[in-house]
Amino acid sequence: MTLKEMKPGQSGRVRAIGAGGPLKRRIMDMGITPGVEVKVIKTAPLGDPIEIHVRGYELSLRREEALQIEMGD
């Protein structure tokens, strides 16, 4: 399951980040790393952006970024 497939109110741990290069660096610079707990706050009607809560911060992710974040239980 990717972060994009999660519904508002769901949370889980990041298993892996599938992107490479600058996109992976951008995701990791936001504090989203394997093992960290992420909670989806809300998703825009068309799916972009996705607002999340991670490490005490609220962040907005683009759909392309959320597709690259693989979530576990």
Task: Please give the model's pTM, rounded to 2 decimal places.
Answer: 0.84
Mean pLDDT value across residues 47-58: 90
Q: Which domains does the chain have, with CATH numbers?
A: 3-71 (2.30.30.90)
Predicted confidence at residue 46, as pLDDT, reads: 80
Predicted confidence at residue 48, as pLDDT, reads: 81
Cα angle 38, 43, 48 (rounded to 5 degrees) comes to 105
Listed in sequence order, the residues at least 6 apart from 39 whose beta carbon sits closer than 8 Å to its beta carbon are: 9, 10, 11, 52, 53, 54
Give the start-end residues of each E strand in 1-73. Answer: 11-17, 37-43, 50-54, 57-61, 69-71
